[in-house]
Chains A and B, each alone.
Chain A
Amino acid sequence: EADIYQTPRYLVIGTGKKITLECSQTMGHDKMYWYQQDPGMELHLIHYSYGVNSTEKGDLSSESTVSRIRTEHFPLTLESARPSHTSQYLCASSEVVGEKLFFGSGTQLSVL
Chain B
Amino acid sequence: AQKVTQAQTEISVVEKEDVTLDCVYETRDTTYYLFWYKQPPSGELVFLIRRNSFDEQNEISGRYSWNFQKSTSSFNFTITASQVVDSAVYFCALTAGYSTLTFGKGTMLLVSP
Interface residues of A (CB under 8 A from B): 2, 33, 40-43, 45, 48, 58-59, 88, 90, 92, 97-106, 108
B95 touches A98 (CB 8 A): yes
Bound: A2/B42 CA distance, A:
15
Distance between Cα atoms of A41 and B99 in the complex (Å): 22
B43 in contact (CB, < 8 A) = yes
Contacts of B105 on A, CB cut-off 8 Å? 40-42
Contacts of A41 in B (CB 8 A): 39, 89, 105-106, 108
B89: nearest residue on chain A (CB-CB)? A41
Main secondary structure of the interface of B (DSSP, over half): strand
Q: How far apart are the CA atoms of A88 and B33 in the complex, in Å? A: 26
Instruction: List which B6-43 residues lie within 8 A (CB) of chain A.
Output: 33, 35, 37, 39, 42-43
B-side contacts of A48, CB under 8 Å: 100
Partner of A101, one of B99, B101, B106, B108: B101
* B interface residues, Cβ below 8 angstroms from A: 33, 35, 37, 39, 42-47, 50, 89, 91, 95, 98-101, 103, 105-106, 108
Contact of A97 among B47, B98, B103, B106 (CB under 8 A): B98
Contacts of B33 in A (CB 8 A): 98
Q: Which of A100, A103, A105 has the most CB of B within 10 A?
A: A100
- Rounded to whole Å, the gap between the CB of A36 and the closest CB of chain B is 12
**A88 lies within 8 A of B100 (CB):** no
Choose from A42, A92, A102 the contact partner of B106 (Cβ within 8 Å).
A42
Assess the B44–A106 pair: CB atoms within 8 A. Answer: yes
B44 near A33 (CB under 8 angstroms)? no
Q: Which of A90, A97, A99, A102 contacts B100 (CB 8 A)?
A: A97
Name the distance in Å between B44's Cβ and chain A's nearest Cβ.
5
Q: Are B44 and A105 in contact (CB under 8 A)?
A: yes
Assess the A100–B47 pair: CB atoms within 8 A.
yes
Asked whether A101 lies within 8 Å of B47 as measured between CB atoms, the reply is: yes
Q: Bound complex: CA of A101 vs CA of B99, how far in Å?
A: 13
The residues of B that contact A101 with a CB separation of less than 8 Å are: 45, 47, 101
14 further contact pairs, Cβ within 8 A, besides A41-B89, A97-B95: A2-B44, A41-B39, A41-B108, A43-B91, A90-B43, A92-B45, A97-B98, A98-B33, A99-B50, A100-B35, A102-B47, A103-B37, A103-B45, A105-B42
